[in-house]
Amino acid sequence: MRIYVLYRRKLFLTFLFLLVIGIVLTTTQHFLTVPSLVRTPGTYYMANTQENIVALTFDDGPDPIDTPEVLNILKEKDVHATFFILGDAGQLYTDLLKRIAKDGHEIGNHGFNHDYQQIHLVEEINKTDNIVFSATGSHTLYYRPPGGLVSQTQLATIKQHGHIVALWSVDSKDWMNPGVKPIQNNVLKNVFPGSIILMHDGGYQRTQTVKSLGPIIDELKARGYRFATLSELRALDSETK
């Protein structure tokens, strides 16, 4: 009888352990897995163009260490990009918002504090937009939901409040910190005319992003590509003219 009880207890503990592992893996996958090509209907994720032109976009900044490094590289390479900033970071580093705008880049809206559920969606968008406007004198036109997650109801609400939901078509996967070479390969092997490239200048340490950025730009230029902000890209899009 004692052996039977111990056996049942062991089975129960094994089941409980596997259940916990399953929950952890499911939760981790939900929050960390970002699709390489996001094609949510009603969003802007690529330009319909035959021209060799792409848009570099950077999420989760501004960051006091990595954003200046990214800006330095872009200035050196004479490339303009779009920065999707978080309001809580933007209000701390308004000098970086001013520099982003002064350097000729576009500023997009990434919400206030990277809330995946976006419970206070409109409030977060407006709050971040006000921070950008106070620092630069310009409002944000594009909104990128955290993780690229957006429902059709949220999409309608965002459009109603005057923002275009901008996602991406090429994911560098730098958010995984996979190494400099993998980041470069993720971009260079998947890029095509009209691509919107997802990268990050904040959120976590982005040393790998910084090291990969220059070579990515150089290789794309060697292939005949030029770079644009999202608004410049959309201006060339045959479907938005």
50-102 pLDDT, tens digit each: 999 999 999 999 999 999 999 999 999 999 999 999 999 999 999 999 999 99
Residue 241: its pLDDT value, please? 55
Residue 23: its pLDDT value, please? 42
Instruction: Please return the burial class of 2, using the count of CB atoms within 10 Å of its CB with bins 0-12, 13-18 and 19+.
Output: exposed
Q: Select which of 59, 63, 129, 201 is catalytic.
A: 59
Read off the pLDDT of each residue in 101-107 and give the average, rounded to a whole number. Answer: 98
Residue 42: its pLDDT value, please? 87
pLDDT at 230 over 70: yes
pLDDT at 201 over 70: yes
pLDDT at 196 over 50: yes
The answer to whether residue 200 is catalytic is yes
What pLDDT band is residue 7 in, cutting at 50, 70 and 90?
very low
> What predicted TM-score, i.e. pTM, was given to this entire model?
0.84
Instruction: Please return the burial class of 132, using the count of CB atoms within 10 Å of its CB with bins 0-12, 13-18 and 19+.
Output: buried
> What are the pLDDT digits (tens) for 36-60?
445 677 899 999 999 999 999 999 9
Find the angle CA(28)-CA(31)-CA(33) to the nearest 5 degrees: 85
Three-state secondary-structure class, residue 80: coil
pLDDT at 30 over 50: no
- 164 or 37: which carries more pLDDT confidence? 164
Number of Cα atoms under 13 Å in the Cβ half of residue 197: 31
What pLDDT band is residue 118 in, cutting at 50, 70 and 90?
confident
d(CA 230, CA 77): 18
The answer to whether residue 60 is catalytic is no
d(CA 117, CA 147): 10
CB under 8 Å, gap of 24 or more: what pairs does 180-184 form?
Answer: 180/208, 180/211, 180/212, 181/212, 183/208, 183/209, 183/212, 183/216, 184/212, 184/215, 184/216, 184/219
Q: Select which of 114, 200, 201, 237 is catalytic.
A: 200
